[in-house]
Structure 1
């Protein structure tokens, strides 16, 4: 939701989406000029800019199959119900200014001077204080609504897709890139990894359930002046806190792995270890922030979090593979690391900084 950043995309022409203008007028926010908006990379059409009344807005149109769009919009609106419980906690985000269920549109306030957590990390500007605050934010979220008063989605999360470890659905196979097919071939042939993923899903189903973000990445964090926000609530549900903790941890493993390509081949393990050691304080401070709001990190939660960090790494490799004809050497290295983390999470919780 930043006005200017490196993750921009070409916006869909607003003249082809008249529902945006209708909704903004209904909300009393004026109109957006066709040539004065920017868009940000993501799965949804979106427009960011200043309206004719001077309102800074971020408009999102949820896309995809109708049933999935309805589910995700319901999650966004459910978060608005949770916000009342979040008053006085670390949890905050851009205000929702209105929505249209019929047109699958949601309008948020735009924070023009903000930067995402991913941008900060790209510039090595994501500091231990940001990590601590992120822990506080997710800890506050996970503690909300203990009575279950807010109707959140309780369906089993779709990822990891257990059936895909046996065979890909025909349509998924038909539309996959060669790199994706190569990735799934490797996963399906790895019986030990498949057992670990199935074990994780079984443990998750038995874990305590509370509000979870469900799709955490560093680009879901937004730093506006000195305030860190969490946004994008389309996958909000009632589930296992380990998903969010693992996703945060997995983001830093992924960034460490991305540092591997340069240098001599036999230096790769050493460079990877050095990079993980450099990033470890960002996980330690996250853990401290999470605990500071009264959340407990018991052994089971730590092990599931580590395992979910391994899955998050695989998921990031999948996202990259969708754009390529073959897996790169660093993606193969990432799969090896993810495999180790998923199969033996008890061996890496200390290395990753999830515990001392």
Structure 2
């Protein structure tokens, strides 16, 4: 679990101490333990005990019971080498207790710092491919993973009581999606094709911040959406993360050494439209080796047909819009760069096969069972 927190230590809450005691890691009468609160939608603490360091998570929010069932279901299947060990769980309290992955760096930090290696991406691709090859029967009894894509009703209109709680940025984001003459149709088509696809076990929420890196391994965390689903959801969202990063990097000097900079943001203001397009292409070219390393390694584990590849890129396109909505949740307005990302997402959704070819995903590669 995540270990790089910056909050000050505090006394561990009673539910954390109880979980540790129930797991036999501390005495029920042990004095207070220091804990650090970690960020996220759940109530999560890292705590140090005489037996070692652990992360305690109490699930909260929508569908917490289903997310708990999926998390424990994944652990009961053996978790895998890239997953922190679940050492205790309490179904009544919705509490999970994991071993801590020490000295770990979040994948999102690696991406921003340009510290991801192609080897790490290849390792992740192989691990995800193995996950998607696991028997579907193993997840048959788990709650179906939720899909973040909006419903038909939401694509047409949202309830007034919900909109009244939106930030101005969220209102702008939904208006951008709902008022587009074509975008809702593209989203409906992707959801329908994904529903009809052959399902496999999936992570269900594979993003760079769900990956932790240590000096010798990568670890995939937060299996709250684990279950049966379209494998293109996982691969598409991962590839979408790299495309999204390339778009966000258009106005920055990260890695290209062009112009003076302050905090990595270029001080130049004379970019033409041609400059912006050229920089976008260059930024995506810079990410291409990492996308290819993940994808080529993934395809050594399982055969991927062309219709699935099209869904992979379509989900990568949807990821731009998903990030738009997530960014808007805490913003009074939508920056132009995020609007641009949404526009690129729409273009990918409109022609996923063409996007797959442009990204090199259609390139033949060795697959399991291939001659």
Give TM-score scaled by structure 2 length: 0.87
SS at match of 1:199: helix
Alignment of 1:263-282 (within 5 A): 263=268, 264-266=270-272, 267-282=275-290
State the SS of the aligned residue for 1:28: coil
Q: Give the 3-state SS of the residue equivalent to 2:353 in structure 1.
A: helix
Mark the CA change 1:147 to 1:61 in structure 2 (over 3 Å): closer, same or farther. Answer: closer
Q: Distance in 2 between matches of 1:353 and 1:118?
A: 24
Equivalent in the alignment of 1:63 = 60
- Residues 256/283 of structure 1: CA separation in 2 closer, same or farther (3 Å cut): same
Q: How does 1:171-186 map to 2 (within 5 A)?
A: 171-186=161-176
> Which whole-Å deviations, capped at 9, do the CAs of 1:101-160 have from their partners, x for residues lacking one?
111110100011121211211211101111111111110111112444652223663424
The change in CA–CA distance for 1:14 and 1:354 in structure 2 (over 3 A counts) is farther
Instruction: Indicate the residue corresponding to 1:26 in structure 2.
Output: 22
Structure 1 residues 156 and 24 mapped into 2: Cα distance closer, same or farther (>3 Å)? closer
Give the aligned partner of residue 101 of structure 1.
91
Stretches of structure 1 that go unaligned for 5 or more consecutive residues are none
- 33 and 286 in structure 1: CA distance in 2 versus 1, 3 angstrom threshold: farther
SS where residue 77 of structure 2 aligns?
helix
SS at 2:34 equivalent: coil
Aligned counterpart in structure 2 of residue 152 of structure 1, from 142, 158, 174: 142
- Provide the secondary structure at the position in 1 that maps to 2:17: helix
Query: Per the alignment, do residues 280 and 162 of structure 1 end up closer, same or farther by CA in structure 2, a change over 3 Å counting?
Result: farther
Of the three residues 246, 250, 255, the one matched with 1:260 is 250
1:233 aligned counterpart, secondary structure? coil
Partner of 1:234: 224
Residue matched to 1:77: 72
TM-aligned CA distance change 1:155 to 1:107, over 3 Å? closer
Q: What is the Cα deviation at residue 2 of structure 1? A: 4.0
Secondary structure of 1:83's partner?
Answer: coil
Aligned Cα root-mean-square deviation (Å): 2.1
Any stretches of 5+ residues in structure 2 without a counterpart? Answer: 252-265, 364-371
Matched, 1:133 2:158: no
SS of the equivalent of 1:313 reads: helix
Judged with a 3 Å threshold, the aligned counterparts in structure 2 of structure 1 residues 26 and 169 are, in CA distance, closer, same or farther, namely: same
Shift of the 10–316 alpha-carbon distance from structure 1 to 2, 3 Å rule, reads farther
Between the two proteins, the alignment pairs up a number of residues equal to 343
Residue deviations 1:37-92 (CA, integer Å, cap 9, x gap): 323321111111312x2421011111114xx11100000011012227x5xxxx52
Matches of 1:145 and 1:260, distance apart in 2: 42
Q: 2:317 aligns with which of 305, 310, 313?
A: 310
* Mean Cα deviation higher: 216-225 or 346-355: 346-355
User: Are 2:23 and 1:4 aligned?
Assistant: no
Alpha-carbon distance change, 171 to 33 in structure 1, aligned in 2, over 3 angstroms: farther
Distance 1:33 1:189, change over 3 A: farther
Q: What is aligned with 2:199?
A: 209
Partner of 1:121: helix, strand, or coil? helix
Which residue number in structure 2 is paired with residue 290 of structure 1?
Answer: 298
